Amino acid sequence: MSASKGRGFSLIELMVTLVIVAVLLRVGVPSLRTLLIKSQLSGEVQDFYGAISYARSEAIKRGNYVSICKRKTDTSCGGGVGDTTTWSNGWIIFTNADNDDPATIDTGEPILRVVPALPDGYTLNASSNFASYITFDRFGMANRIGTFVFCANGDRTTAKAIIVTRARPRIATDTNGNGIPETDNGTDIASCTSP
């Protein structure tokens, strides 16, 4: 009888394979993490864009003012003097029959939708025009123009933005290819805290 030759990997082959796997993981994992962050942020932007579009269409459908405000609680808006509520805390869409300024949820004004806070590490901030709310009239026109910016971990290179004009909102694009979306006047989003 002859001894059968063992089949398998030598120690050197195993070590080379482990080194190759380690290098691939070292290069691939950070890229995958960035991709996951950008993907989740895009989902949050689409949700907020949908909320703006919903508020606009409800204003037209109802023939009344509809507002989106920063959510302080599930039944009240944030943004008063000394209030530290941010857009990252979520938002409320409601019929704002009296078109008050700043927008507040009064008795008899139905709440149409309440959206909870963004995940930890994600922020939503707005230009000063949208300090605490945005209102659409019965024609679907916004009461102000401005920009909302989403970021992950305060990193401007992850920024996604929504530009609201009087007529209709749109998701900002990166036309110059530097990875940062531009505002309505064509300049890059300045920061994650004040677009």
Question: Model confidence over 66-100: pLDDT tens digits?
Answer: 999 999 999 999 877 777 889 999 999 999 999 99
Q: Is residue 184 part of a domain?
A: no
The dihedral over CA atoms of 134, 135, 140, 141, expressed in degrees to the nearest 10, equals -70
pLDDT, residue 46, reads 95
CA-CA distance, 87 to 30, in Å (whole number)? 29
Q: Which residue has the higher pLDDT, 157 or 138?
A: 138
Q: Is residue 16 part of a domain?
A: yes
- Residue 31: pLDDT band (50, 70, 90) is confident
Q: Is the dihedral of CA 115, 163, 77, 89 positive or negative?
A: positive
C-alpha radius of gyration, the chain, whole number: 24
Structural domain of 108 = 11-120+130-138
Q: Is residue 185 part of a domain?
A: no
CA-CA distance, 177 to 16, in Å (whole number)? 38
Q: What is the mean pLDDT of residues 20-28?
A: 82
Q: Is residue 22 part of a domain?
A: yes
Number of folded domains that form the chain: 1
| pLDDT one-digit tens code per residue, 1-14 | 555 566 777 888 88
Q: Is 74 helix (H, G, I), strand (E, B) or coil?
A: coil
Q: Is residue 63 part of a domain?
A: yes
Taking the model in full, what pTM does it have? 0.81
Q: Is residue 175 part of a domain?
A: no
